[in-house]
Amino acid sequence: MEITTRSVQSSTSKSKSKAMAKIVEEEEQEEEEDEDPGLSCGCFFCAIKQPDARLRRASVAAFFRELPYSEHDDGGAVVAVWRAAMDAPDDPELPSLGAIRCMSLLLARTLADAAWCRRGQNACVPYYAAHVVGSYTIRSSAHAELAVAAGAVRPLLALLGGAMTWVEQRAAARALGHLASYDATFPAVARCADEAVPLAVHAASTCIGDVYANYVALAPSKRPKYQRDLLTRGLVGAGVDAAEDRKAEEWASQLQCWSLYFLSCLASRDPSSHATICQDHGFLSELCRMWGGLANGDSPAGVGLLRLLCRSAVGRGAIAACPDALSGLCDLAQSSDDWQYMAIDCLLLLLDDHDTWHAVADATAPCLVDLAELRRLGPRRRLGDAITSALLLNDDDDGHVRGRALGAEAKEAVASLREVKIERKEREEAMSRDELLERKLVAKEKKRQGNDMFWHGEVARAIELYTEALEVCPLSARRERLVLHSNRAQCRLARREADAAASDATRALSLARPANAHARSLWRRAQAYDMKGGMARESLLDCLAFAGAWIDGRKHGRQQPAARGANQQKLPYCVARMIGKQMGVTGLFAGVWAGGGKARRDDRIGSDDRMPRCSDGDDDGDDEEDDDGDACDHDGSEEEFYDTELRFCRSAVSGLPIMAEETWRSRLAPRKKKMSSVNCLVIS
């Protein structure tokens, strides 16, 4: 018993000794931490590394309180906050500790204290501070409320107005767009709408020329160093200068897109802002063509804002009175752009207004009639029916609409639409199945005769035969009508009738399933747009769509057995050349020079710089069924091109195919083989 008692006492004594030793060790560690200047210096890096959560939060909060009033070079700390915001924009810890308030105060200080801003790394502080605000508010309404409460709106507006440079302007436009997108914070931004709208309009209109004149056109040694550091962050090696120019172009495009997004937020929530936006007629004229370049393929940009403006009477009136805006919408509506349906929406909204119908119909009826066969386009269904209803509303047989006569071209277009969509449809619905089959066989025979005439050089007679075939071919035979329109487009290209060729190709693409999926018609329309001049962007989009269909068809074996082989990824030489040419013309800075001016669209391509005409391969291929039960228009066969291999690289932003520069240089080198003919794509 005594031994047991002594053992317990001994064990208890040892436990107490260990506990006391641990307490003493912890006290010594705390004393060492208090004495260690590295852990009590108050900098952001030491504060954020504090292992104790309570101490870390207190240290970080104290740092954010003191940073806006510090006289030290604190650019590195702001960069660290920016990295944290980029890595975890939804993390509430730093915003709750004062990060957003700190960045807002730093923005105000940089605008008020130029000497401090020029000190050391502080030159990059306004850019990173505005970027932090934009990053934390990208998905969080609560963070946006913190920014508004901290007074971020006024300094951001100053940066958008050009108080500093285009680099800070880009970050400010991004942040303001986020603040204007939430119900809770929109009123704070809307109170400054009278000032904000003109600033955003001016930024979107002038940013491309501004970036080119004040950065791209300068020699690298004359560019601001902090801007070069921002653009080339993490890049080293011989290709830094080229990467810097590409990044500048990308940022200029983003500045324009963010400015338009900010305007779209204001326009969608405050219709009273439409009048202010529409005051600048030059801005409206260029708005539809503010597409941001290939690097912003996911942004609706200018046409998205136009569609919002078309939802108000004042916006519709301003757009209807702007011929350039209507022309831009028609060009976009007849392209293979992802936002084609938005342009059609704009035109339909204008046609639905009794006050703007007549002015819009005269300018747009010929364009919309070509699209009357559309069924599904993007998220929109039955677009062709909507176009027909809008154009034929209150129309009479004399070409008078709402008491006023249409112009000759519009009158002819509306009459042809009425004949096909109403009168002819009623006649064919009354026909028997045998009658429709007989008409289909007659159309097929006329098509065959048209093909023979084309190959014998009787192009005019071929056009007549294709037209006769279209007149008897049943409306339900969409595939046959598609081929006839596409073949007639090729004939009109041979006669250099660019407008008629583009119209026929557009009608063929409207009949395709899915829309714009017929490769040969894409190529023919691309040639027609190039022939017209001033439509390089539309030509490029059709070329890229054709290239994608060509490569996809080869990948899945949808071509003649003789065309398959070792060179399955080859692209026709004339297509590759067209892509290279149009990419040079449609580059973001293609229309501006060092003075910031803009070149005329029609003067960018000389009349002797047109592409050679190429026809395409046979249309008689197997069809697949889509969700609607319509035939998907895949290419059944193609003729082989004499061509070298075309390599594509992908844009990191949009994923769109872009021709590698070295590939283009090699393409211009002397070739060992001659092309046997430029007319490699044959008539269907």
Residue 566 structure tokens: 């070792």
Residue 640 structure tokens: 């082989």
Least reliable range by pLDDT among 18-22, 424-428, 541-545, 578-582: 18-22
Across the range 503-515, mean pLDDT stands at 95
User: CA-based Rg of the chain, rounded to a whole angstrom?
Assistant: 32
3-state DSSP: the chain helix, strand, coil percent, rounded to 5? 65, 5, 30
Phi and psi at 624, nearest 5°, equal -115, 160
Average per-residue pLDDT in the chain? 79
The residue extents of the domains of the chain are: 41-216, 271-394+406-414, 431-552+573-585
Model confidence at 599, in pLDDT bands (50, 70, 90)?
Answer: very low
Quick check: 168 and 127 in contact, CB under 8 A? yes
Q: Quote the pLDDT of residue 7.
A: 43
Model confidence at 154, in pLDDT bands (50, 70, 90)?
Answer: very high
Model confidence at 117, in pLDDT bands (50, 70, 90)?
Answer: confident
- Rounded to whole angstroms, the Cα distance separating 48 from 243 reads 34
Quick check: 453 and 472 in contact, CB under 8 A? no
Model confidence at 607, in pLDDT bands (50, 70, 90)?
Answer: very low
pTM: 0.79
Least reliable range by pLDDT among 121-130, 530-539, 669-678: 669-678
- Rounded to whole angstroms, the Cα distance separating 198 from 205 reads 10
Q: Which H or E element spans position 404?
A: strand 404-405
DSSP assignment, residue 335?
Answer: S
DSSP letter string, 589-607: TTTB-TT--B--GGGSS-T
Give me the CATH topology for the region 431-552+573-585. Answer: 1.25.40
Quick check: 313 and 349 in contact, CB under 8 A? no
Residue 659 DSSP SS3: strand
Q: Which H or E element spans position 125?
A: helix 125-136
- Rounded to whole angstroms, the Cα distance separating 572 from 604 reads 25
CATH homologous superfamily of 271-394+406-414: Leucine-rich Repeat Variant (1.25.10.10)
Q: Which H or E element spans position 376?
A: strand 376-377
Phi and psi at 181, nearest 5°, equal -95, -5
Residue 78 structure tokens: 């702001």
Per-residue pLDDT at 137 exceeds 80? yes
CA distances from 335 to 109, 523, 537, 601 (A): 48, 12, 9, 17
DSSP assignment, residue 562?
Answer: G
- Rounded to whole angstroms, the Cα distance separating 535 from 526 reads 9
Quick check: 182 and 141 in contact, CB under 8 A? yes
- Rounded to whole angstroms, the Cα distance separating 474 from 438 reads 10
Residue 509 structure tokens: 């693409």
Q: Which H or E element spans position 178?
A: helix 166-179
Residues ≥6 apart with Cβ < 8 Å to 192: 153, 154, 157
- Rounded to whole angstroms, the Cα distance separating 296 from 623 reads 34
Q: Is the dihedral of CA 240, 245, 248, 249 positive or negative?
A: negative
Across the range 440-447, mean pLDDT stands at 96
Model confidence at 144, in pLDDT bands (50, 70, 90)?
Answer: very high
279-294, pLDDT tens digit by residue? Answer: 998 999 999 888 755 5
Quick check: 306 and 346 in contact, CB under 8 A? yes
Model confidence at 591, in pLDDT bands (50, 70, 90)?
Answer: confident
Per-residue pLDDT at 274 exceeds 80? yes
Size of the chain, expressed as the number of residues it contains? 684
Q: Quote the pLDDT of residue 555.
A: 65
Quick check: 80 and 46 in contact, CB under 8 A? no
Q: Quote the pLDDT of residue 409.
A: 87
Quick check: 504 and 492 in contact, CB under 8 A? yes
Residue 132 structure tokens: 């932090």
Q: Quote the pLDDT of residue 593.
A: 53
- Rounded to whole angstroms, the Cα distance separating 227 from 220 reads 11
Task: Tell me which residue has tokens 């000032």.
Answer: 195
- Rounded to whole angstroms, the Cα distance separating 647 from 315 reads 45
Helix axes 536-555 and 573-586, enclosed angle (nearest 10): 140
The neighbouring-strand residues paired with 649 are 658
347-387, pLDDT tens digit by residue? Answer: 999 999 988 988 898 889 999 999 999 998 888 899 999 99
DSSP letter string, 129-155: HHHHHHHHTSS-HHHHHHHHHTT-HHH
637-657, pLDDT tens digit by residue? Answer: 233 222 322 222 223 223 333
Q: Which H or E element spans position 380?
A: strand 380-381
Task: Tell me which residue has tokens 């969409």.
Answer: 478
Q: Is the dihedral of CA 518, 524, 526, 529 positive or negative?
A: negative
Q: Quote the pLDDT of residue 499.
A: 95
336-349, pLDDT tens digit by residue? Answer: 988 899 999 999 99
- Rounded to whole angstroms, the Cα distance separating 231 from 251 reads 9
